[in-house]
Amino acid sequence: MLRLFIFAFLIFSGWYAWRHWHEITDRRPKHEAIVENRSGRTMLRVRLAVGGQTFVNESIPDNTNVTIPFLVNEDASFALDWKWPGQEFDQHWAGGFVPRGPMVQRHHLAVDNDGAVIYQAEQKLGQ
């Protein structure tokens, strides 16, 4: 029984390493996008797209933020979509600039009560 458990563990470990090899070996520093909700209401169905990737958050309560680490293979920009409670249509914002590298940045996207996004980027130190 112990041999069967060890064999199953080795098979699972090998499968996991094969499926996640790029994540395990790729230790490049990552950009960070910080979506800050300063609107006075909850943001729902938040989607942040950058560099061909889409990151989803079901909700961001008021006066909180969500940090999303990401990598890009080429220069990119952001697209942010969300809904307000009780509204049928989505809010949309597009903009910002993410350089491919080698430097990485921290990107602040602060949403105010009018649905405007205030974008600010800063160099990320101490990766």
Please write the tens of the pLDDT for every residue from 61-108.
999 999 999 989 899 999 999 999 988 888 999 999 999 878 899 999
Which residue reads 């060890």 in tokens?
6
Torsion, Cα 19 72 78 53, to 10 degrees, reads -20
- Give every CB contact of residue 28 below 8 A, 6+ residues apart in sequence: 71, 101
* Sheet hosting strand 76-83, strand order edge to edge: 53-60, 43-50, 76-83, 91-98
pTM: 0.76
Range of the domain at 110: 30-123
* Residue 98 belongs to some domain of the structure: yes
Query: Which tokens is 48 given?
Result: 């942040």
Quickly state the pLDDT bin for 127 (edges 50, 70, 90).
Answer: low
Indicate the number of domains in the chain. 1
* Residue 10 belongs to some domain of the structure: no
* Residue 6 belongs to some domain of the structure: no
